[in-house]
Every structure is written in C-alpha cells, then in structure tokens.
Amino acid sequence: MNILIIIIILAGIILAFVYNRLVKFQVRTEEAWADIDVQLKRRYDLIPNLLETVKGYAQHERVTLQEVIDARSKASSMSVDISSASVEQMQALAGAESSLNGALNKLFALSENYPDLKANENFLELQRELSDTENKIQAARRFFNATVKDLKTALQTFPTNMIASLFGFKDRNFFELPENSVEREVVKVSF
C-alpha cells in the first residue's frame, strides 16, 4: 500500500513538472512573438516620418514613395494570433514584411540621388533608428524561432508528448522568410 501511494505521489510530481515546463515554453513563445510585434509596430511608426522627410526632397519620386506607403499599409494591417496561426498566415506576414523591406531598400537607394537628403540630420537619424529596429526585429525573430524549437522539441519527446496532448498544448509555426524574399537575395557589388 505504501509503495502505491509513493508511485502516485511521484507520478503527480512528474506530471506537475512536465506540465509547468510546457507552460513555460508556451509563455516564452508568446513573449517572443510579442517582442516581434513591438518591433514591427516601431518600424511602422518610423516609416511615415521617414517618408515625410524624403517627400520634401524627392517630389518627382512618387512611385517609390507610394510603394513604401502601400507595403507599410499591407504589413501593418496584418494581424497574427500566435496561438492559432497557420503556416499560411505566418508566410503571408513574412511575405508582407519582405515586400516592405524591399520598398525601404529602394527608398534608401533613392536617397543616393539627393546629396542634401543624405546629409539631412532628421533623415540620418530616422535611417539609424530604422536600421536599429531592423536589427531588433531580426534578433526577435531568432529568439522566437528558438522558443518555437524548444516547444516543438518538448511536444515531440516522451513522456511530454503524452501530457501535452492530454492538456491540449499546441505546436507553433516558425517565422520564416518566403523563398523569393528580398532578404534572401545576394547583394552584388561591382566597381
């Protein structure tokens, strides 16, 4: 009888340990997604200021400016609930982000044609902030994907997988760039 009680107590302790570990992974994944969301919103907020600065110098470059405006609008309007996000939703968001990056790259290339713009303190500060935000987004994506990897690993290992299915823990999708992404293109330098 005492052995049965000890086994039940040990099973309860193991169950609680595994459950709490899964909760930790799930919360870390949601926190990582929130970090990405914060940085994306920061970028969306910086872009209008950058565009206004460029508009004053590049009145006839409306096509490039409109591309940035459209790409920002599309990317900022996408909302992904990480607890139920499908692979398609994650890919759509990554594609919209990739399009926005491409449009911003065109905008920065455009600034090369305007020496006064390149020297404008406001433009330079906005460009630095945007660059810093891009680095933070990249770091947040790496952290998110690392937490998703930890969660996926836990959900696929024994006995955690049995406890996870018992309590309804769900897998998450990685935040990956689409195959035709601007970020995947090799930059060519020629002299």
Residue 82 lies inside a defined structural domain of this protein: yes
pLDDT in tens, 109-135: 777 777 777 667 778 888 889 989 999
Residue that wins the pLDDT comparison between 150 and 55: 150
Kindly report the number of other CB atoms within 10 A of residue 171's CB atom.
Answer: 11
Residue 190 lies inside a defined structural domain of this protein: no
Q: Which pLDDT band, with edges at 50, 70 and 90, does 139 fall under? A: very high
| Burial label, 64 (beta-carbon count in 10 A; 0-12, 13-18, 19+) | middle
Mean pLDDT over residues 158-165, rounded? 92
Residue 3 lies inside a defined structural domain of this protein: no
Residue 71 lies inside a defined structural domain of this protein: yes
CATH number, position 23? 1.20.1440.20
Residue 185 lies inside a defined structural domain of this protein: no
Residue 172 lies inside a defined structural domain of this protein: yes
Residue that wins the pLDDT comparison between 86 and 190: 86
Residue 62 lies inside a defined structural domain of this protein: yes
Residue 191 lies inside a defined structural domain of this protein: no
Contacts 24+ apart (CB under 8 A), 126-130: 126/46, 126/49, 126/50, 126/53, 127/50, 129/46, 130/43, 130/46, 130/47, 130/50, 130/104
Residue that wins the pLDDT comparison between 98 and 26: 26
Domain tally for the chain? 1
Q: Which domain holds residue 37?
A: 15-176
Q: Which pLDDT band, with edges at 50, 70 and 90, does 4 fall under? A: very high
